[in-house]
């Protein structure tokens, strides 16, 4: 199955599952199982790709292939900023290092990556399949 590095989301929806591309959420498909939803999405994706090509339009770039600078600005409440600075000082690291560490830890706890050949079973929460 080829989704050209697009991020596939599969979520429960009542008694079914819905699969969609994170970058193009309007491309979605339902199935009684995760696997069925994923197979249905393959067909939807192939038809959409063909239709866009016929109109001379490009698909949006997959998130995985975009270029990222490693910088972004985040606005936080003053009291959270203060707590982060104090925590960083206690740990003897910079504020940037502290925030990067917290984000990395948080993402690693909630990321649920799989390949198309190893689909993960979902629970009641969303999960990603890196294709």
Residue 112 lies in a domain: yes
The model's pLDDT over 12-33, given as tens digits with 9 standing for 90+, comes to: 999 999 999 999 999 999 999 9
Tell me if the pTM is above 0.85: no
pLDDT at residue number 109:
85
**Cβ count within 10 A of residue 21:** 24
> Looking at the domain assignment, is residue 96 inside a domain?
yes
In a domain, 71, yes or no: yes
49 found inside a domain: yes
Q: Determine the pLDDT at residue 111.
A: 72
Residue 1 pLDDT > 70 = no
- In this structure, is residue 2 part of a structural domain? no
The total of structural domains in the chain comes to 1
Report yes or no on 122 lying in a domain: yes
Domain extent at residue 89: 7-130
**pLDDT tens-place string over residues 62-121:** 999 999 999 999 999 999 999 999 999 999 999 999 999 999 999 988 775 443 333 344
In a domain, 22, yes or no: yes
In-domain check, residue 1: no
């Amino acid at each position: 199955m080829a989704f050209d590095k697009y991020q596939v989301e599969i979520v429960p929806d009542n008694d079914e599952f819905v699969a969609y591309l994170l970058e193009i959420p309007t491309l979605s498909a339902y199935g009684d199982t995760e696997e069925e939803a994923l197979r249905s999405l393959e067909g939807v994706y192939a038809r959409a790709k063909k239709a866009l090509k016929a109109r001379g339009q490009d698909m949006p770039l997959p998130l995985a292939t975009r270029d990222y600078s490693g910088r972004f600005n985040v606005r936080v409440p003053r009291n959270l900023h203060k707590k982060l600075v104090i925590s960083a000082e206690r740990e003897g690291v910079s504020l940037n290092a502290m925030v990067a560490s917290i984000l990395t830890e948080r993402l690693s706890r909630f990321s649920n990556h799989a390949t198309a050949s190893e689909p993960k079973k979902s629970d009641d929460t969303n999960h990603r399949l890196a294709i």
